[in-house]
């Protein structure tokens, strides 16, 4: 199959589009802005070229950065770990909070006074009118610096909102009224509550199999209970619970499968789905959490490249693209 | 080109038109800038007046001297005193006749109309709006401005919050999407927070079908009776659409389980969207075609995305001379609500321009209570302690506000009683000079 040249973009139609990539002739969606004569674009429902012309061929500014107060900080109990994790509530402008409601929403956090290289992509678990709730595991240099800022100054620099933390969003939107299975492990649990809320609001059912992963704790069960979403804990097993997941998929009928975990987990589940489909069994559509590799999240740095596309912008919604993960 | 008027209204929907008339009646030299080539905005495909509490509100306006537009829609009504699920004594104006009639009324009043003038820039200082500029380079100066730019679209919002552009009457791709004046001034703006699963917004609640495409018997019934109710086959019932509707007064189970068609010149179908293939399986609609949105089988315009905090004079919080009206002024939906808020915003813009004290409609009247009750404060919270703020749609015709109206005894269809209440409130003819 001819590789796609243009894909739909998470930011199209937002106040951040057209972005700097359009100005550089590198828009991931618009073939005309890439210098072609034809409209073989990754149609977004809005025309990026028309917007670009309307803005006077200027890119719109990127996300705002705000210095925000941490209003609540709760350490997660992790008896056997030598590094810490926290749940935090951060006071943010209401516009930012509202736009972090969608599944896959994340923000970049860094300590005040540090360079953008310290930005950490963090899923937004819950929002209220003026705040967001997040979870962070403090392990590497960036998150350790963030931990110090959280503890000492109770202030962080928040950049956002970004929406590209979940790939397969179109499938989620079209099938959310059905049955959804979420496989969540470790810190990626934090991406699950907005997905569960979205599915429940559309009258769908959602069940989450939660593994503690290396984090060692489950911290979203209370939220899921409140949302009327089913969940089950998965103790760590040698087969990484693939047997349990396989049983769940083959004995019940799921329309969607959301993998909230590492790239290794996504690959293992895709392999599992391939095996199941070989027996002519119906398999759910695959949706995956994808923000973990992001650094700038604005299409510049290339840290999230996937099949030549910037994963922080490009929406991979079709199944053939999913297999690029293999 | 530089242009000066005492009051400039930006946005020619029902609220902007009402504001312009009220400002002119208050004695101010008034102009109206409209983005497209027609007035009335969503009112071009509206039609429903005087249902439930809107009857009382319309009569209050007539008694206060700001009822010109109600008298106009009464004069072009296709049906009067109509009942349909959850609604009583509605009148339906002919959507094909309304815009030319409104345009003629504005010109008769001597209001300057600037059509296809999409305002995209504003110069302001310390909350005082000095001038606005249109995309094509016209510069408008005024003493006071009314932001009646609405809360629907732009196209990107319809994409992100709804089912994408459905080619609705707003015609954003043709004329450019609306631009909020309040936002250009850096004032806070909020979306409705009715739903917890998406950032905000709500979908317009009706689509319109060309009557010519209905079966002859269905068309004749609709012409004669004004309303036709057809049960929807069980497998096509979609309750989740009710959840997303702008107009909570029409978000009743009956509207999912039945097709409710109203005769507004078009056959107004009281649901946000309905797949064409399904629609055509229903007897009488085998050849149906959408007039608005053109892609009514797919979706509809997204609204309630740009509400501005304000006080009971309609002055935007943080602004010295910018008044807000219609959906910009609260999560208040409907023509009647737009006309009421527009009239007060327009009159107060004129009073400010003439350095006179501003008007507040007393809370003993439904219109006054509605204006106070539907406001939000600077933080986006309800401006009154018992208010619903961003979390509910406010309309005289149903949902939370109609319940409140009934509870306070403000709902009546007795025109004499309305007149005496307006007189007792000291508001008789208050908008006339």
Does any domain span residue A18?
A: no
Is A94 within 8 Å of B190 when comparing Cβ atoms? Answer: yes
For residue B209, list its beta bridge partners. Answer: B267, B290
Reported as a single tens digit per residue, the pLDDT across A236-271 is: 888 888 999 999 998 988 999 999 999 889 989 989
CB contacts of B239 in chain A (<8 Å) are: 203
Count, residues in chain B: 433
Residues of chain B with CATH 3.50.50.60: 2-195+303-424
Which residue of A46, A47, A98 is in closest CB contact with B191? A98
Spell out which chain B residues touch chain A, with contact meaning CB-CB distance below 8 angstroms.
Answer: 155-160, 164-165, 173, 176, 188-191, 193, 195-200, 239-240, 243, 379-381
- In-domain check, residue A321: no
Domain membership flag for residue A81: yes
Identify whether residues A155 and A142 lie together within a single domain.
Answer: yes
Nearest to A45 among B159, B188, B189 (CB): B159
Q: What is the pLDDT of residue A223?
A: 96
Say if residue A73 is in the same domain as residue A97: yes
CATH of the domain at A267: 3.40.50.80
Q: Which residues of chain A make contact with B199, given a CB cutoff of 8 A?
A: 98-102
Q: How many domains does chain A have?
A: 2
> Which two tokens mark B321?
């001379």
Other CB atoms within 10 A of residue B226 CB: 22
Residues A143, A174 within the same domain: no
From chain B, pick out residues whose CB is under 8 angstroms from the CB of A55. Answer: none
* Bridge-based pairing state of the strands A230-233 and A205-211: parallel
pTM for this prediction: 0.89
The verdict on residue A128 lying in a domain is yes
Show residues of chain B in contact with A202, CB under 8 Å.
Answer: 197, 240
pLDDT block averages, 10 residues each, chain A of length 326: 75 94 94 89 89 91 95 86 90 95 96 94 94 94 95 96 92 90 95 96 94 90 95 88 91 93 90 85 88 86 85 77 51
Q: Can you point out the beta strands (E) in A212-278?
A: 230-233, 256-260
Are A176 and A250 within one domain? yes
For each successive 10 residues of chain B (433 residues), what is the average pLDDT?
96 98 98 98 96 98 98 98 96 98 98 96 96 94 98 88 93 92 94 85 94 97 97 81 71 84 97 93 96 96 94 98 97 95 98 98 98 95 93 92 96 97 98 90
Q: Would you state the pLDDT for residue A325?
A: 52
Q: Least CA distance to A199: which residue of chain B?
A: B197
Per DSSP, chain A holds a count of helices (H) and strands (E) of: 10, 15
Q: Are residues A146 and A184 in the same domain?
A: no
Using a CB–CB cutoff of 8 Å, tell me whether A44 touches chain B: yes
Asked if A101's CB is within 8 angstroms of B196's CB, the reply is: yes
d(CA B270, CA B280): 16
Please tell me the distance from the alpha carbon of residue B400 to that of residue B408, in angstroms, as a whole number.
12
Q: Has residue A280 been placed in a domain?
A: yes
Considering the domain architecture, whether residues A128 and A101 belong to the same structural domain is answered as yes
Closest alpha carbon to B181 in B47, B419, B376, B10:
B10
Q: What is the pLDDT of residues B74-88, one digit of tens each?
A: 999 999 999 999 999
Tens of pLDDT, residues B190-223: 998 888 788 899 999 999 999 999 999 999 999 9
Are B240 and A202 an interchain contact pair (Cβ–Cβ within 8 Å)? yes
A14 part of contact set with chain B, CB < 8 Å: yes
- CB–CB of A201 and B165 under 8 A? no
Distance between A200 CA and the closest CA of chain B, angstroms: 9
The pLDDT of residue B405: 97
Residues A182 and A275 both lie in one domain? yes
Q: Say if the Cβ atoms of A94 and B197 lie within 8 Å.
A: no
Chain B residues in contact with A44 (beta carbon < 8 A): 159
- The answer, yes or no, to whether the previous bond of B398 is cis (omega within 30 of 0) is no
Compute the nearest-CA separation of A98 from chain B (Å). Answer: 5
Q: Does A12 touch chain B (CB under 8 A)?
A: yes
Contact call for B199 and A99, based on CB within 8 A: yes
Q: Residue A170: its pLDDT value, please?
A: 85
Q: Which CATH architecture has domain B2-195+303-424?
A: 3-Layer(bba) Sandwich (3.50)
Residue A219 lies in a domain: yes
Chain B residue with CA closest to A49: the answer is B173
Q: Best of B198, B243, B304 to disrupt the A interface by mutation (most A CBs within 10 Å)? A: B198
**Chain A neighbors of B188, CB-CB under 8 A:** 94
* Same structural domain, A187 and A247: yes
By the 10 Å C-beta count (0-12 exposed, 13-18 middle, 19+ buried), B26 is classed as buried
Contacts of A133 in chain B (CB under 8 A): none
Residues 6+ apart with CB under 8 A from B43: B13, B14, B95, B98, B335, B338
Whether A316 maps to a domain, the answer reads no
Residue B359 phi, psi dihedral angles, 5° rounding: -100, 140
Q: Looking at residue A313, what is its pLDDT?
A: 93
Residue A244, domain extent: 166-293
Residues A123 and A142 in one domain: yes
- Pick from B264, B272, B216, B213: which is nearest to B241 by CA? B272
DSSP state of B82: E
* Beta carbons within 8 Å of A280's beta carbon, 6+ residues apart: none
Instruction: Report the alpha-carbon distance of residue B343 to residue B130 in Å, rounded.
Output: 22
Q: Report the DSSP beta bridge partners of residue A122.
A: A107
pLDDT tens for each residue of A51-97: 999 889 999 999 999 999 999 999 998 766 778 999 999 999 999 99
Among residues B163, B166, B140, B183, which one has the least CA distance to residue B29? B140
Residue B109: predicted pLDDT: 97
Asked if A101 has any chain B CB less than 8 Å from its own CB, the reply is yes
CB-CB neighbors (< 8 A) of B243 in chain A: 201
Candidates A14, A15, A91, A129, partner chain B, best to mutate (most B CBs within 10 A): A129
A13 in B contact zone (CB under 8 Å): yes
Q: Report pLDDT for A1.
A: 46
Residues of chain A with C-beta less than 8 angstroms from the C-beta of B191:
98
């Amino acid at each position: 199959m001819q590789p796609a040249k243009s894909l739909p973009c998470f930011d199209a139609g937002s106040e951040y589009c057209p972005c700097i990539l359009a100005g550089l002739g590198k828009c991931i969606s618009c073939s005309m802005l890439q210098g072609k004569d034809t409209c073989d674009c990754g149609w977004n429902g809005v025309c990026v070229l028309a917007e670009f012309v309307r803005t006077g061929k200027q890119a719109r500014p990127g996300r705002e950065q705000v210095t925000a107060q941490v209003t609540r900080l709760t350490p997660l109990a992790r008896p056997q770990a030598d590094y810490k994790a926290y749940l935090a509530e951060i006071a943010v402008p209401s516009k930012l909070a509202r736009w972090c409601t969608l599944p896959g929403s994340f923000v970049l956090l860094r300590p005040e006074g540090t360079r953008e290289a310290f930005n950490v992509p963090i899923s937004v678990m819950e929002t209220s009118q003026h705040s967001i709730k997040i979870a962070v595991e403090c392990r590497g240099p960036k998150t350790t610096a963030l931990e110090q800022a959280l503890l000492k100054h109770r202030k962080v620099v928040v950049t956002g909102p970004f929406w590209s933390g979940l790939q397969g969003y179109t499938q989620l939107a079209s099938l959310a009224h059905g049955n959804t299975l979420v496989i969540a492990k470790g810190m990626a649990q934090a991406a699950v509550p907005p997905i569960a809320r979205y599915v429940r609001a559309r009258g769908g059912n959602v069940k989450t199999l939660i593994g503690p992963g290396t984090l060692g704790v489950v911290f979203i069960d209370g939220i899921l209970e409140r949302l009327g979403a089913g969940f089950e804990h998965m103790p760590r097993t040698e087969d990484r619970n693939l047997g349990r997941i396989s049983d769940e998929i083959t004995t019940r009928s799921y329309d969607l499968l959301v993998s909230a975990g590492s790239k290794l987990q996504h690959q293992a589940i895709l392999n599992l789905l391939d095996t199941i489909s070989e027996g002519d069994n119906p398999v759910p559509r695959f949706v995956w959490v994808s923000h973990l590799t992001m650094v700038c999240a604005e299409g510049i740095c290339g840290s999230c490249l996937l099949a030549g596309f910037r994963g922080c912008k490009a929406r991979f919604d079709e199944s053939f693209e999913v297999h690029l993960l293999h | 080109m530089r242009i000066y008027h005492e009051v400039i209204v930006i946005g020619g929907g029902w609220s902007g038109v009402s504001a312009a008339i009220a400002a002119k009646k208050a004695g101010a030299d008034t102009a109206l800038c409209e983005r497209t080539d027609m007035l009335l905005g969503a009112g071009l495909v509206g039609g429903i007046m005087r249902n439930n509490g809107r009857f009382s509100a319309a009569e209050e306006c007539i008694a206060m001297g700001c009822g010109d537009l109600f008298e106009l829609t009464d004069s072009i009504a296709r049906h009067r005193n109509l009942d349909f699920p959850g609604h009583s004594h509605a009148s339906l104006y002919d959507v094909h006749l309304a815009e030319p009639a409104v345009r003629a009324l504005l010109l008769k009043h001597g209001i300057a109309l600037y059509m296809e003038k999409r305002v995209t820039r504003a110069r302001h200082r310390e909350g005082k709006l000095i001038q606005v500029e249109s995309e094509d380079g016209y510069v408008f100066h005024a003493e006071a401005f009314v932001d009646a730019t609405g809360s629907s679209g732009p196209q990107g919002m319809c994409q992100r919050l709804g089912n994408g552009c459905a080619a609705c009457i707003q015609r954003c791709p043709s004329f450019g999407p609306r631009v909020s004046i309040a936002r250009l001034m850096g004032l806070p703006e909020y979306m409705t927070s009715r739903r917890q699963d998406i950032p905000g917004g709500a979908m317009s609640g009706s689509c319109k079908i060309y009557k010519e495409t209905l079966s002859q018997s269905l068309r004749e019934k609709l012409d004669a009776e004004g309303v036709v109710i057809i049960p929807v086959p069980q497998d096509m019932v979609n309750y989740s659409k009710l959840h997303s509707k702008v107009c909570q007064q029409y978000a009743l189970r009956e509207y999912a389980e039945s097709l409710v068609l109203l005769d507004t010149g078009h056959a107004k179908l009281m649901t946000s969207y309905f797949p064409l293939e399904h629609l055509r399986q229903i007897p009488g609609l085998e050849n149906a075609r959408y007039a608005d949105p053109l892609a009514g089988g797919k979706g509809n315009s997204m609204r309630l995305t740009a509400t501005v905090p304000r006080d009971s004079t309609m002055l935007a919080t943080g602004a010295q001379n910018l008044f807000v009206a219609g959906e910009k002024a609260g999560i208040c939906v409907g023509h009647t609500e737009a006309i009421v808020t527009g009239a007060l915003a327009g009159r107060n813009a004129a009073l400010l321009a003439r350095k006179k004290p501003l008007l507040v409609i007393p809370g003993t009247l439904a219109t006054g209570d509605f204006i106070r009750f539907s406001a939000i404060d600077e933080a986006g919270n309800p401006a009154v302690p018992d208010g619903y703020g961003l979390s509910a749609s406010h309309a005289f015709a149903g949902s939370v506000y109609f319940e409140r109206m009934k509870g306070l005894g403000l709902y009546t269809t007795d025109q004499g009683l309305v007149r005496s209440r307006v007189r007792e409130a000291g508001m008789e003819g208050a908008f006339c000079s």
